[in-house]
Amino acid sequence: MADGALPPPVVSVSYETKAQAALRNIYLNDQLGDCVIAGGYHVVGVETGNATGTPFVATDQQIIADYGAVGGYVPGDPSTDQGCNIQTALAHWQTVGFADGTKLKGYLSVNPTNKHELMTALYLFENLVFGLELPDAYVNPFPSGDGFTWGVAGAPDPSNGHCIIGAGYNTSGVGIDTWALEGTFTWEAIAAYCTASNGGEVYTVITPDQLAKGQSVAPNGFNWLTLTQDFDILGGHVAVVPKPRR
């Protein structure tokens, strides 16, 4: 991503408040390794919630259908519960679409070591999608409620592959949603754990759900033409083959 000619991001932003009905839905990720699918529908909830005030909340059946289409999951067969690749899911949602009928218009790889780039992407498009190998300290113990902070905490563990989404930021880091809980992923930890060399990845997606039908601008004040032009300025996605996320 190159950030010349783009509007500067604000100091802090939050797109979580109007998306609570979706963000508080774990989307079966306490039973299945469907974190990528859950993350995608949390993004849909953020986009629709901020545009209309009523976030789209997927049903369990819709989540399972997408997990099957993207990751090959077959209900009742635990051997097929193997997670899925983020890029495979993004490509599926570009061609087939989400359960609310919308399709991604594109996705971009974001540099996890560039704070300004992360802020710009989240400010403009209302989301970041993180794939990473969680250090053991993040899950032993698991977060028990909101307000947790994930900082630099040891080496990433390849057995802890996970997908989370960001829907806000401040001086401390990105406001994230995972397992229907909200916390902070510090800028330092993003730089440490989301680089390709450490098994990580970061994307932002653009979808028409950012504008409700009949609206001329998104919640951040940009119209669709401006958003798509900014998206084009930022470039295309990087073709990598990430590990399955659970």
pTM of the model: 0.93
User: Sign of the CA dihedral 30, 181, 124, 162?
Assistant: negative
pLDDT digits (tens, 9 = 90+) for 112-163: 999 999 999 999 999 999 999 999 999 999 999 999 999 999 999 999 999 9
C-alpha span between 133 and 207 (Å, rounded): 27
- Give CA 177 to chain center in angstroms: 9
The domains found in the chain, sorted by start residue, are: 13-234 (3.90.70.10)
Confidence of residue 1 (pLDDT cuts 50, 70, 90): very low
DSSP annotation of 37: H
Beta 156-169 vs 128-135: how paired, if at all?
Answer: antiparallel
Confidence of residue 6 (pLDDT cuts 50, 70, 90): confident
pLDDT for res 224: 82
Q: Between 86-95 and 60-71, two packed helices, what is the crossing angle to 10 degrees? A: 110
CA distances from 35 to 15, 87, 130, 200, 214 (A): 20, 13, 11, 15, 32
H runs (alpha helix) in the chain = 20-23, 35-52, 60-71, 86-95, 115-125, 136-139, 187-193, 224-234
Q: 3, 230 in Cβ contact below 8 A?
A: no
